[in-house]
Amino acid sequence: MVFKSRLVMAFSISALFIVSGCATVTRGSNDMLQIVSQPAGAQVKTSNGYSCDNTPCELKIPRRSKFVVTISKAGCQTQQVKVTNELAEGGAAGMAGNVLIGGVIGIGVDAATGATQNLEPNPVMVNLRCR
C-alpha cells in the first residue's frame, strides 16, 4: 500500500512539472517573423542583431522581443518598422491552463520565456520608395 501511495505521489509531481509552462511547451519561446518588401530583394537588419540578405525572409526571434527592423535596398529609401509583442490567443489559453492546473511554476516559466506573446506586426510589410 505504501508503494502504491508513493507511486501515485511521484506520478502526480511528475505530471505537474510536465504541464508547467503550458504555453512554453505548446508554442515555444520563439516566433517566426516574416519580412516582405516591395520590391523584393531588400536587406533586413534588426536592432537586436538579426538579419537576412533578401526579402522576403523569415527570422526566428524570441517572442518577448521589442526591436526595430530596418529594410534597405540600393536606390530605395530605407524604412524602419517598430516590432513589439502582445498577448496571443494561444498564449492566453496556455496561461489559463497553468491557472486551472495550479501550475504557479508554469506561469513563471511562460512569463519568463515570453511564450504567451506574439511579435506584432507579423508579417512586417513595407513598400520601398525607389528612384
8 within domain boundaries: no
- How confident is the model at residue 116, as a pLDDT? 77
Distance from C-alpha of 42 to C-alpha of 12, rounded to nearest angstrom: 53
22 within domain boundaries: no
Angle at 81 between CA 77 and CA 87, to 5 degrees: 165
7 within domain boundaries: no
38 within domain boundaries: yes
Q: Are 29 and 9 contacting, i.e. CB atoms less than 8 angstroms apart?
A: no
Angle at 122 between CA 117 and CA 124, to 5 degrees: 140
108 within domain boundaries: yes
CATH of residue 59: 2.60.40
13 within domain boundaries: no
- How confident is the model at residue 125, as a pLDDT? 98
- How confident is the model at residue 108, as a pLDDT? 55
56 within domain boundaries: yes
What is the 8-class DSSP label of residue 53?
A: S
User: What is the mean pLDDT, run by run of 10 residues, along the chain of 131 residues?
Assistant: 60 46 62 97 98 98 95 98 84 48 52 75 97 91
Please give the model's pTM, rounded to 2 decimal places: 0.68
Which H or E element spans position 126? strand 124-127
90 within domain boundaries: yes
Q: Are 67 and 122 contacting, i.e. CB atoms less than 8 angstroms apart?
A: no
Distance from C-alpha of 58 to C-alpha of 76, rounded to nearest angstrom: 21
- Domain of 118 in residue numbering reads as 30-127
Pairing of strands 117-120, 79-87: antiparallel
Q: What's the total number of domains in the chain? A: 1
